[in-house]
């Protein structure tokens, strides 16, 4: 294959940005790996994640975005991405005029509660969007538990928030989690169905029969396991509060570190739960989009 599309037209501007012109169709990440051949793959991926790549003037973080002949790819300096680098425990995966998708680390609250006023993902992303315009806002669409990491989305306007929340069950096509659970799960796969109710102490309980609670369905598949723990891929058919945590306890294999729902060990010093992927119909375009957050390495090594 000819490589003439990699070099192109280069225009340095006082360490602020470098521009290239695409001359053959190629995906964005392979393109960047070629033009930045002296930069490590992880560093190139970080440049994308931090929002330092513009395609025809639009910020682009999608690794497999298909570049077309004649498009302009601009790589901006670290100074331009300074506001993104100030985020702590939050990485931006995607941003457009309607939504902003992040990877939240464990230990970061999604939003503030009445009892806790610490730094949250919501507050940090709000500060980030207001750094370009003080009128900018973000709106909560869904949440992750404080000790759950992974993909989380905010709306950038109230109309988008209402659209997503009102059509959530129809618009969301996939909510995939990775769970590190206690003990060796015998079944390769399975489905847990029950009705969930929450008591006055904010603990959710599961019932095998309809007791007036919320119907909850969880599918799981074992990825790998050892005598101490198992790594599961978990797909939510419904999205109820603490659903995975309750259902894993019901399975007899609570999520590691989840003392509230039956775990007796915490080798990770965090909850063994990660929101790996979120797939949904974009509220403006109707296009099916999917965002992923890499599974923490400690989940994989612990379950080998």
Active site members: 145
Q: Is 114 exposed, middle or buried (0-12, 13-18, 19+ CB in 10 A)?
A: exposed
- Please, what is the end-to-end C-alpha distance for the chain in angstroms? 39
| φ, ψ at 250 (rounded to 5°) | -65, -35
| Rounded alpha-carbon distances, angstroms, from residue 156 to 84, 85, 100, 123, 245 | 16, 20, 7, 13, 30
242's CB contacts (< 8 A; 6+ apart) are 145, 196, 204, 261
Strand-pairing partners, residue 75, are 18, 53
Evaluate whether 49 touches 77 at the Cβ level (below 8 Å).
Answer: no
Q: Is the dihedral angle over the CA atoms 53, 48, 156, 170 positive or is it negative?
A: positive
Evaluate whether 91 touches 48 at the Cβ level (below 8 Å).
Answer: no
């Amino acid at each position: 294959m000819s490589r003439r599309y990699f070099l192109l037209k280069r225009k340095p501007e006082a360490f602020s940005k470098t521009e290239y012109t695409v001359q053959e169709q190629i995906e964005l990440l392979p393109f960047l790996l070629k033009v930045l051949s002296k930069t490590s793959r992880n560093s190139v991926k970080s440049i994308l994640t931090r929002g330092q790549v513009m395609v025809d003037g639009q910020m682009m973080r999608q690794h497999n975005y298909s570049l077309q002949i004649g498009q302009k790819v601009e790589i901006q300096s670290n100074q331009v991405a300074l506001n993104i680098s100030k985020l702590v425990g939050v990485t931006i995966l995607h941003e457009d005029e309607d939504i902003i998708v992040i990877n939240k680390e464990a230990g970061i609250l999604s939003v503030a509660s009445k009892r806790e006023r610490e730094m949250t993902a919501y507050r940090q992303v709000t500060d980030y969007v207001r750094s370009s315009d003080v009128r900018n806002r973000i709106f909560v669409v869904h949440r992750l538990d404080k000790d759950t990491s992974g993909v989380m989305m905010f709306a950038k306007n109230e109309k988008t928030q209402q659209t997503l929340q009102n059509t959530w069950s129809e618009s969301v096509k996939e909510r995939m989690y990775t769970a590190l659970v206690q003990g060796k799960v015998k079944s390769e796969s399975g489905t847990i169905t029950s009705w969930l109710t929450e008591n006055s102490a904010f603990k959710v309980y599961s019932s095998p029969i309809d007791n007036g609670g919320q119907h909850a369905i969880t599918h799981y598949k074992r990825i790998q396991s050892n005598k101490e723990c198992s790594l599961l891929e978990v797909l939510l058919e419904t999205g109820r509060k603490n659903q995975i945590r309750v259902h894993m306890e019901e399975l007899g294999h609570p999520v590691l570190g989840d003392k509230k729902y039956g775990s007796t060990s915490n080798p990770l010093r965090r909850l063994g739960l990660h929101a790996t992927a979120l797939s949904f119909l974009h509220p403006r375009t109707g296009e099916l989009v999917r965002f992923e957050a890499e599974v923490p390495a400690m989940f994989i090594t612990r379950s080998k």
